[in-house]
Amino acid sequence: MITQFVITSGEQPKRLDVFLVNRERDISRSAVQRLIELGRIRVNDEVVKPSQKIRPGDKITMDVPKPEPLTLKGEAIPLEVLFEDDCLLVLNKPAGIVVHPAPGNWTGTLVNALLHHFQTSGGTVSTIGGKERPGLVHRLDKDTSGVMVIAKTDQAHRHLAAQFKHHTITRVYEALVYGVPKKGRGVIELAIGRDSKERKKFSARTSRPKASATEYHVDQRYGKIAAHVLLYPRTGRTHQLRVHLTSLGHPILGDQTYGGRKVCAIEQIEIPRVMLHARTLGFQHPVTSEGHEFTKLFPLDMEMISRTLESVSHGGFESKPL
């Protein structure tokens, strides 16, 4: 659908994308930027950049295409739903499942499971994330288990995304780590970004560092071989917890990418995956404004590793809750 309008007198100069997001409440800033870059939004019939400053008298032309139907297919993959209403769904993601489709993983993802769930229940799902990421406000790595919130409407998506952006979301993770941090608690502050040499990794060795901080608390020691750590991320960078714990000298057990082979088997205990779990997620409901908080403790595989570590540590060191 094509719409046109002229910037009225008195309008202060501002970025085109910012102006349109404030004017068009039903479209996200990222969607506006994509449309501008595709030439579907023009100023005075010219292709411009999202940073273009608009001024009184400018003619804006918007050609917003109808939403394309999702080509992904729903799959009957079991979901552990913790809460659901008309605008959002909270679930406990199991380890081993990829969150959204991507090359090499077009099926068997959490998105495929969600599409099947909504198709059979008659529910809707937010389209802001695009065809491959419907409803996804945030994500967890394949090997990370735990609590996630899914947006069922665009309004809920925007509201929840704003909470993540402004760090008003309550998030608590737990991990089993290699060795025991010297300090029982502390804050890891390390700017990270995509690694300049190994593009699949994130580190402080980057051309685009982004400030990041993680608070940690050692909850239990397994002798000197490992520890159970609670993590409170103050920012939400990709692989932040994994990188920060590695920088502390205590990579997460099972995380070969950042800890090497030594963390995949400890005291002859085979570690089946990255021992990281999103334990608690709290947020303000997009419609009622009520506070919601959901907690899921250790999944079975982490519980078994924890018990085995405790048993092994009793052979030489006492396991002490702090």
Give the three-class secondary structure for 270. Answer: strand
The kind and range of the H/E element at 246 are helix 240-247
Query: Which tens digits make up the pLDDT trace of 199-236?
Result: 789 999 998 899 999 999 999 999 999 999 999 999 99
Question: Among the options 17, 85, 86, 141, which is catalytic?
Answer: 141
Query: Which tens digits make up the pLDDT trace of 43-82?
Result: 999 999 999 999 999 999 998 876 554 467 889 999 999 9
Check if the beta carbon of residue 88 is closer than 8 Å to that of residue 25.
Answer: no
Q: What is the residue extent of each domain of the chain? A: 2-63, 68-166, 167-322
pLDDT given at position 318: 43
- 141 is a catalytic site residue: yes
Give buried/exposed letters for 226-236 (b at 16+ CB in 10 A, else e): bbbbbbbbeee
> Is 68-166 in the same CATH topology as 2-63?
no
- CATH class of segment(s) 68-166: alpha beta
The verdict on pTM exceeding 0.95 is no
Q: Which CATH architecture has domain 2-63?
A: Roll (3.10)
Question: Which CATH superfamily is 167-322 part of?
Answer: Pseudouridine synthase (3.30.2350.10)
Pick from 67, 63, 76: which is nearest to 154 by CA? Answer: 67
